[in-house]
Structure 1
Amino acid sequence: MLSTAALRAHLLAARLAGPVATSREESLRSYRLFAARDPRVLLGLDPEWRWGEGDLLRLMADKCGVSADPSHVSGPDVIDPERTVAALEAFAQRLREAVLARSPLLFGTGHPHRLLGFYVSLAQALSAAGCVVLTPAQGVGVDMATRFGVRPHRIDYVRGVALVREPGVREPGSATGAHTHSPLPVRIALGALAEAGGPLPELVVGDHGWVCGAGQLGVDAIGLADTDDPALFVGEAEGRVSVAVPLDDAVRSDYYRPLLRWVLHRASLPPGQEWL
């Protein structure tokens, strides 16, 4: 089991924290778009407070450790590994609370190529601990905006974790899917549960629109976010996201495995048996 010091060292070595691949230009562009209420970066969140670019830069400096200097406009962005470790601790403790309460859970990702294994292993561990992992709206269509225009997608599940894929691209259940920031899938999934009269999730675990879309609808949510995803940190600041973990969300899939082991240990859960 990784010590906290070893976890911190791994975060830096894998560039999950420290200087990351996300550029300062990308982050600042996201802050400008968020301040302008561009839905592409709101991720389903409707902020209650007025967030200007300066407000967002100060928030992200506090939550992630990026430079608060507005004149710093180029180069790699930086995440403070101490903030990542602290947020992973809070993430693990929220999972532990879910286990103790036997909470129904919903897992979903807009980063299936990188983070699916992390979430699948969490879902398997939480299921083995007695939590119900919900899989609503399997196969239901959702039209989502892409850089090629609006394209039809379908909600699918891989071992308890929701993602979306374009019909015909992959067989249902295959371990890949589309990269998306959209909150539409989680809205459809939660709507299907409400219509069926079944239990609603007491916690949504994921990223991008899965977290912000759920939080906006009043469902507790926790997730991972990069420096160019200010919506999750705004949601946390406004009380609609319980935990936003700052890290690079697009490194190699296996680089998240040590984080998984650390989180499961801190949540008093057995090591995950699944990985994709």
Structure 2
Amino acid sequence: MLSPGALRAHLLAARLAGPVATSRERSLRSYRLFAARDPRLLLGLDPERPWRQRDLLRLMADRCGVSPDPEHVSGPDVIDPDRTIAALDVFADRLAAAARARVPVLLGTGHPHRLLEFYAVLAAALSSAGCQILTPAQGRSVDIRTRFGVRTYNLDYVRGVALVREGGAPGPAREAGVHSHSPLPVRAALAAAADSRGPLPELLIGDHGWVCGAGQLGIEAMGPADTDDPALFVGEAEGRVSVAVPLDDAVRSDYYRPLTRYVLNQACLSQ
């Protein structure tokens, strides 16, 4: 059993919290773009409030622990590990509630190289508890606008976790998937589930556009977010994201294992 103190030490040592790799410059740029309603930063969310950059800075200081000082414009950004642990506790509570109710769950990631294992272990635990892990729209093509133009990706599932791959990539030799912020994959998955008249998810666990895209459509959604992803925290503040966990979402994949263990222990879902 991992104690909150041991988890806190791990968060700092792995730079999941404390001074993180995300720069202050990058975070502030994200807040400017979000305030301008740039869809690359909205991640599928349609904010109800006219969030200005200073509003976002105050929100991120409250939810993540970044500096609230607008004159602090350079260096590494900072996440308060105690806020991370508090959010993980709420995340675990929602996980436990889903397991007790045996609700259908959809998991998806735009960070497959980093977070796939984290979600896959959660999927296995929820499945063992009796939840149906949904995999709608397997193999469906999704056209996503990138900085290189519109590209076609295929929706796929690995150990119950949705991700997108380059179109035409070969089967077993494919890499884990591509990094994506787009809400289009979750929209495609939900549309396929509705068209087939199969179950719709009552909980989505993921990141980026998976969380914001589902939350915008009224589905309970939760997951981790970095200091340069204000959309999840805005969604949480406006009531469309259930839990946004502040942490660096791009460290080595094995650094997330203690977090998985902590969450499953807290949710009484340890296998």
TM-score of the two chains, using structure 1 as the length reference: 0.97
Displacement of 1:174: 5.0
* CA deviation profile, 1:165-190 (whole Å, cap 9, x unmatched): 01233526956001000000000100
Relative to structure 1, the CA distance from residue 33 to residue 140 in structure 2 (aligned partners, 3 Å threshold; closer, same or farther) is: same
Tell me which residue corresponds to 2:71. Answer: 71
Is there any run of 5+ residues in structure 1 with no aligned partner, and where? 272-276
- Mapped to 1, the partners of 2:47 and 2:172 lie a distance apart of 35
| Paired positions, count | 271
Aligned: 1:14 with 2:5:
no
Contact kept in structure 2, 1:137 and 1:192, CA below 8 Å: yes
Matches within 5 A, 1:145-156: 145-156=145-156
Relative to structure 1, the CA distance from residue 98 to residue 175 in structure 2 (aligned partners, 3 Å threshold; closer, same or farther) is: farther
Tell me which residue corresponds to 1:80. Answer: 80
**What is the SS of the residue equivalent to 1:150?**
strand
CA-atom RMSD, angstroms? Answer: 1.0
Tell me which residue corresponds to 1:229. Answer: 229
Contact kept in structure 2, 1:207 and 1:224, CA below 8 Å: yes
Contact kept in structure 2, 1:21 and 1:77, CA below 8 Å: yes
* CA deviation profile, 1:209-258 (whole Å, cap 9, x unmatched): 00000000000000100000000000000000000000000000000000
Tell me which residue corresponds to 1:160. Answer: 160
**What is the SS of the residue equivalent to 1:154?**
strand
Matches within 5 A, 1:1-276: 1-171=1-171, 174=174, 176-271=176-271
Read off the aligned partner of 1:136 and give its amino acid letter: P
Read off the aligned partner of 2:103 and give its amino acid letter: S
- Mapped to 2, the partners of 1:74 and 1:168 lie a distance apart of 41
Displacement of 1:146: 1.6
Displacement of 1:196: 0.9
Read off the aligned partner of 1:261 and give its amino acid letter: R
Read off the aligned partner of 1:169 and give its amino acid letter: A
Tell me which residue corresponds to 1:274. Answer: none
- Mapped to 2, the partners of 1:164 and 1:157 lie a distance apart of 8
- Mapped to 1, the partners of 2:53 and 2:270 lie a distance apart of 42
Read off the aligned partner of 1:266 and give its amino acid letter: Q
Read off the aligned partner of 2:87 and give its amino acid letter: A
* CA deviation profile, 1:84-139 (whole Å, cap 9, x unmatched): 00000000000000011100000000000000000001001100110000000000
Relative to structure 1, the CA distance from residue 201 to residue 172 in structure 2 (aligned partners, 3 Å threshold; closer, same or farther) is: farther
TM-score of the two chains, using structure 2 as the length reference: 0.98
Relative to structure 1, the CA distance from residue 134 to residue 175 in structure 2 (aligned partners, 3 Å threshold; closer, same or farther) is: farther
**What is the SS of the residue equivalent to 1:241?**
coil
- Mapped to 2, the partners of 1:187 and 1:142 lie a distance apart of 10
Read off the aligned partner of 2:137 and give its amino acid letter: A
Displacement of 1:152: 0.5
- Mapped to 1, the partners of 2:241 and 2:173 lie a distance apart of 29
* CA deviation profile, 1:36-72 (whole Å, cap 9, x unmatched): 0000000000000110000000000000000000000
Relative to structure 1, the CA distance from residue 170 to residue 121 in structure 2 (aligned partners, 3 Å threshold; closer, same or farther) is: farther
